[in-house]
Every structure is written in C-alpha cells, then in structure tokens.
Copies of this chain bind each other. A is one copy, B any other.
Amino acid sequence: MGKGYNGKILRVDLTEEKTWIEEPGEEIYRTYLGGAGLAAYYIIKELPKGVDPLSPDNMLVLACSVITGTPVPGASRFTAAAKSPLTGAYGEAEAGGWWGPELKWAGFDAIIIKGKASKPVYLWIKDGEVEIRDAGKIWGMETGDSQDAIKEELDEEKVRILQIGPGGEKMVRYACLINELKHANGRTGMGAVMGSKNLKAIAVRGTNKIEMDDKESAREVIRWLRENYTWQTGDMHDMGTARLTPSLSENGILPTRNFREGAFEKAYDISGEKMKDTILVKRGTCYACSVACKREVEVNEGPYTVNRKYGGPEYETVASLGSLCGIGDLAAVSKGNELCNRYTLDTISTGVSIAFAMECYENGLLTKEDTGGIDLRFGNADAMVKMVEMIGKREGLGNLLAEGVRIAAQKIGNGAEKYAVHVKGEEVPMHEPRGKRSLVLAYSLSPTGADHMEAPHDVVYEMFNSEGQHPLAPMGLVEPVDTMEMGPQKVRAFYYAKQLFDFYNCIGMCDFVGVPIGPLAINQVVKHIEAVTGWNTSLWELLKAGERSNVMMRIFNFREGLTKEDDKLPDRLHQELESGALEGERIEEDKFEEMKKTYYRMAGWDDDGYPTEAKLEELGLEWIEEFV
C-alpha cells in the first residue's frame, strides 16, 4: 500500500501478568494513524459492552502515532484512552512531554493494558524488553517521590515515567496521568483507570531513533516549522498559555466564579505576564518543540511554597483554580497546580469541582459541617488549596468532590445540579461558549464531554495570520466567521475544523503548532507524515481519518447507552453572563438545537444523532456494526 510503515503494539494482561507484542500491519496504521484513532479502534473492538470503568474489565490504551518520536515540532503528544469513570462514556486525553517519543524509541507505537494486577505494579520498558515489576514500596507515594524511587530502583537516570499519584490510586474520577511530573493526560479520569488496575507507573527508556522514509523532506518540514513560528511573535513562548488571561477578561470570556461571570477583576494577577515577572524561573518544552510554552515556577516564601519540578500552571489551571474560584493569588494557584501534579488530578475538573462547592456553600447547600470548618467562599485561596489536597486524598468533602460535579450534585441534592457545570459528566473547561459559539458544539458533541482539546475555538476561524491568510485555508475556510455567529457558516467551520483537530489527536500534533504557527502549517504536517511513512497521502485522506476516529467514539457512546439527549449543555450556559463585556449573553436553546440539527446532518448523522450506515460505509467503518 505504501512504502512500508509498520509498528509494534505492546499487549499487557495484568491479571495474568503476561505481556506480548503484536504487529497489526500497515493497513491499520494508515486507516487509524495512531493516537486517538488507534485507541478508539481497539477500544470499540475489544472492550465488552457495559463494563464498569473501574473494574478489571476496562482497558487502557496508550497510543503514539506514525510520526511520534520524529523531531518535528508539536508532535510529541500521545493518547490515553479507556471507558471513562467520570462520564461512563468514551474517555480520552492527550499529553505532550517526552514519554510518547521515548515509547516509540523503545520500539512501541502503543500499549494496550487489560485486567488488574493482584498487587501494585509498574511496567519497565527498555528497547523492546518489558517487565512487570512490584510497586509495593512506591504505591501511595506522591509523584515526585515515586519518580525518584523508580529511577533509583532501575538505576536509569534517563528513564521517562508516566504515572499516577494518590489521586489515581484512590480513583478520583478525574485523576490524570502525568509524565515527567508536569505533562498530563488530563481529562476523563484516565488516572483512575490506571489506579483501578493497580498500575502505578510505566517507565520507559528507548534509544532507537525513528527511521524516516524521506529524511530530506522531513528536514525541510522541520526547518519550515521552526522558521515560521509566528504565534503572536513568540508570546506563547514568552508568557505561556496564560498570556491572554487579561484580554479574555476584557472581552468578557474569562470563566469566573463558576461561570456566572465572564470578567475577573484580578485577571492580570493570574496572567502569564505576571507569572513571567514574578515566579517564573524557567521556560520548558515538550520534545522537539519550536514553541516551548511550558512553565517552571518557584515560590520560596509566603503561605504557598511551590516546587519548580512540578512545572507551572497552564491557562486552564490559572482560570480553573483562579478566576473560576474567584482567586487572584498566583502563588495559591501555583500551589494548587503543584498539588494536582503531585496527586495526579485534572486541574480543570478539580477547579470546577471546587467552584461548584463554593457556589453550593454560598447558597447554603453545603455548610461548615460539610467542609470540615472551611469557609468555602469564592475568593478564599486557603480554602481552594486545602480542597485540592482533600480531593487528592479523598478526605472529607474532598471525597465527595472526587466524584466530579455530576455525582456530587446528585448526592448533595436540593437543586445543586444547577451549579454543576458539566457535559456528560465532564467539567467544562476554561473557554466560554457564550462568547465563542463554536464551543457550543464542541462541548455538547464531544464524545468525552466538555473538552477543550476537541475542536478549535472560534478565534481560529476568525484569525488572519501575519501573511494575511486564514490559517484553515487549506480546508477552504478562507473567510473569518464571527465568534458570536451560530448559523450554518459557523457549523461548517466547526465541522471541518473538528476533523482537523481529530486528525491532530490521531497523530499527536499539538494545535499550538499545527494550526496557528503559519498559514501553511497544516500542509507541512501532511508533508511530514508522507516523509516519515512513505505514504502517498493528502489532507483529504487524513481528515477522513480524523472524522473516522470521532465517529468510532460516538458509536461507542451510543453503545454504552448515551443518546442525543446527552448532547446538551449545562443550565449555566443557557443563563445570562452576570458581568463583563458580554453581560447578558446566553445560549438560546432554540439556536442551540438548530445548530446541533445542522451539524448532525452535515456530519451524516441521522435525526437521533447516530452516524448513518452510509457514513460508516463512506469512512470504511462497516465492520463496527458487529461491535455495537
């Protein structure tokens, strides 16, 4: 078919304490690419219907892609996927860093883990060799300690470790996986799944670089991406993902006090600029990236001391632990971030859960008795930091909040659900649909629930880059679409861009590199895939792979009992914003329904939101009907 891409998949059965290696063949890689697509393929085929996500029957897939480990900027991400304990639906999250590339250099494209170890274990993978090792001594450790312990035990300084902390062990429903202490597969509770399997960590060391079909062509792509890094002339490197916090607030789209408001009076205090000017000690990067947006922060005095080895807060974190909780104290937010990384908690779900609890508390649905004496008001930084720790340890109210806002609200009762800002059980991230209307579809339709990594924000459709070209021009999206637009033009832009982002999740491409770095970036990514694999492919074929992955996940969800009724938004987003430039804006139900209806039809889904037989056939997914 092509010129010969193939890859190995490591199979792990923890119950049987067995590992083996499979080669699925080139056709599988060409059809599903890797990452999100490859994971979805195996999960829908091999995960029995209706399993408890925290039982040994669940499976965890960790998947790189055909280009992971090649030195192209932005392609360091790998996918973790399983049935989600947070949503009961498809669970998936990507993470950057070095672990994905290292896994490829160790000889594997993916790891598929089933069963449950009889006692805590970790995996040790080195250049094609695999060992299941006892983790009795490190179980219970925070991530920093366990990383040190594993490195010492293996006597390998260069080992890369993907792991869970106490939050994952205790199966906090939104526990994340973390690699190198600071790169998280954040959403949908993949850490809880790993914890449920008694699997503490996966340590990897690989020394075999990737063979590329056309090295010169790959070099051209890499050179181009490095030279054309134009994202706001380096602001992303300079100030990190939190660089825009103040302007988001000015524009009324900084989620504040549990999404009641869109502007935060202390937005600057939690901004990338403030961070840079105060606690930033180093700028970090994922493997081979030309953007290098990661932070390392350090605080040595005051109430919140912060250790730099856990990195620094992303935008999602400064907003979720900051503005969303009404907190403008960067040290407190950074401390919360550090604790999330120590315990392996998703910072978004953690922040939204705390903000939810704050609103419950202020409205009398939770009392000091419930909080263990904490005055859980918006703006109370001490309370926020304490709650992060309690969630990580499942202590007191933290044990309730560790279930996520959907379950917590059910347990609290008395109408608490109206403060629970989630879709399908997943807490809404820090991008405001009332001011960026494509997110209405992104959140309601994502198989994983409200997910910020599932489709680009409206700003991408709006943006003309420095060379005067729309960044999505290769897809025919050559005109801006207003952020507030909800008509067919917006649906179309979303439908196309969704395929692009799904494709990027299949190849592990970071959208900070793959979309806005320059007007030709998308085509450079295509060229790189050709250079690595030797395939004669095109954006056409690759976007179809993206669509394919999304459709597999959607069908998985329907199989697990979800329906179109789950394609909804939380009440909060249908209510008016109470402050800021967009005060009074809400998502009108009728416009939302119309938008969804248009999307269903555009996507080839029937009126129940189910992909039609013809759509499955178009995507070459006829086989899936056997597994539903």
Q: A2-B478, A604-B604 are in contact. List 9 more A-B contacts (CB 8 A).
A: A27-B479, A473-B535, A473-B537, A474-B537, A519-B536, A538-B539, A539-B539, A598-B617, A602-B615
How many angstroms from the CA of A473 to the CA of B535 in the assembled complex?
Answer: 8
Whether A327 sits at the interface, judged by CB under 8 Å, is no
Q: Which residues of B contact A476 (CB under 8 A)?
A: 537, 540-541, 544-545, 620
Whether A526 sits at the interface, judged by CB under 8 Å, is yes
Q: Taking the full assembly, how many copies of this chain does it contain? A: 2
> Are A620 and B492 within 8 A (Cβ)?
yes
- CB A393 to nearest CB in B, in angstroms, measures 49
Contact digits for A491-521, partner B, Cβ 8 Å, 1 yes 0 no: 1100100000000000000000000000110
- CB A457 to nearest CB in B, in angstroms, measures 21
Contact partner, A523, options B479, B536, B602, Cβ 8 Å: B536
Whether A601 sits at the interface, judged by CB under 8 Å, is yes
How many angstroms from the CA of A617 to the CA of B27 in the assembled complex?
Answer: 33
Whether A575 sits at the interface, judged by CB under 8 Å, is no
> Are B617 and A474 within 8 A (Cβ)?
no
> Are B1 and A469 within 8 A (Cβ)?
yes
> Are A540 and B537 within 8 A (Cβ)?
no
Instruction: Using A618-B495, A620-B492 as known contacts, say yes or no to A475 and B602 having CB atoms under 8 A apart.
Output: no
Contact digits for A527-562, partner B, Cβ 8 Å, 1 yes 0 no: 000000001111111011100000000000000000
Instruction: Tally A residues with Cβ within 8 Å of B.
Output: 45
Q: Which residues of B contact A604 (CB under 8 A)?
A: 601-602, 604
Whether A622 sits at the interface, judged by CB under 8 Å, is yes
Chain B CB within 10 Å, residue with most, of A1, A475, A491, A541: A541
How many angstroms from the CA of A529 to the CA of B148 in the assembled complex?
Answer: 55
Q: Which residues of B contact A543 (CB under 8 A)?
A: 540
How many angstroms from the CA of A548 to the CA of B240 in the assembled complex?
Answer: 41
Chain B residue with minimal CB distance to A488? B617
Contact digits for A442-483, partner B, Cβ 8 Å, 1 yes 0 no: 000000000000000000000000000110011110110000
A-B CB proximity, top 7 nearest: A601-B614, A488-B617, A474-B538, A476-B541, A538-B539, A602-B614, A539-B540
Q: Which residues of B contact A1 (CB under 8 A)?
A: 469-470, 473, 478-479
Whether A367 sits at the interface, judged by CB under 8 Å, is no
Whether A30 sits at the interface, judged by CB under 8 Å, is yes
Whether A522 sits at the interface, judged by CB under 8 Å, is yes
Whether A613 sits at the interface, judged by CB under 8 Å, is yes
Whether A228 sits at the interface, judged by CB under 8 Å, is no
